[in-house]
Structure 1
């Protein structure tokens, strides 16, 4: 749980930059890659990071610009990446105007009462979870994956270092 708005801003700025790197690497064709037959596509998972995450945070009372929750995913990878960049910038700007006292306020979240500091913490964890899904789908779609917490296999190989296999 976050006890200061600045701690959230620093953490989310770092995590959103990693997500943005992945979204920027997507291609229009890769958006069609399904998780499995009858499941979401890579495009739906990527779009989920733009609008559904925003809806979770907006339940805290934090107001910022984001696409409507019922908006269909764009068919353009660049449009998804741009929408994420704009939503993230708007969220960070709105959070900067909050005081730390807002983090202890409690709001209904999925039928439970969560302090805003917890919601922001879990919001970031939720994004990390879906970012992991993105990387698997990107590999399945043949899109190079950028490293997030260290080099990816492709990046290790570009450095001339064999990627760990075990």
Structure 2
């Protein structure tokens, strides 16, 4: 749970930069990659990271610019990456308008009473969860993967080292 807006902003800056690094590596051709028939393809998963389709942030009163909830994902990886960049910046700007006291307010989300500080934490964890899925689909699509919490296999190789197994 976040107890200060500053802590959320600092954490989300780092996490959204990690997500942005991955989105910037997508190609138009990779957007149709899915783990199996009938599962969310890479493009739809990437788009899911951009809009607040669960309404999590909007339900707690955070007002930010994002594509419409049910907007179809673009067929352009560059558009997806640019839209994420804009949305993440808008979330950070909107959060910066909040006071720390706002984090103590509670709202019913998914049948549970969560303080806003809890919701912001779960929002970030939701993104990290889907970012993991994104990296797996990127690997299946033959794309390089950027390291988020440390070097990726490709980044180890760029340093002239072998990635740990």
TM-score bracket for the superposition, by shorter chain length: over 0.9
* Whole-angstrom distance in 2 between the partners of 1:68 and 1:111: 24
| TM-score, with length taken from structure 1 | 0.97
| 1:37 Cα deviation from its structure 2 partner | 1.1
* Whole-angstrom distance in 1 between the partners of 2:93 and 2:107: 21
CA displacement 1:54-91 (0-9 Å, x = unmatched): 83111110101111101001100011111110111011
| TM-score, with length taken from structure 2 | 0.97
Native 8 Å contact 2:52 2:58 kept in 1: no
Native 8 Å contact 2:53 2:70 kept in 1: no
- Say yes or no: does 1:141 pair with 2:149: no
* Whole-angstrom distance in 2 between the partners of 1:33 and 1:67: 22
CA displacement 1:97-135 (0-9 Å, x = unmatched): 100000010111112111000000000000000000000
Aligned to 1:113, the other structure's residue is in SS state strand
* Whole-angstrom distance in 1 between the partners of 2:103 and 2:143: 38
Unaligned segments of structure 1, at least 5 residues = none
* Whole-angstrom distance in 1 between the partners of 2:12 and 2:53: 12
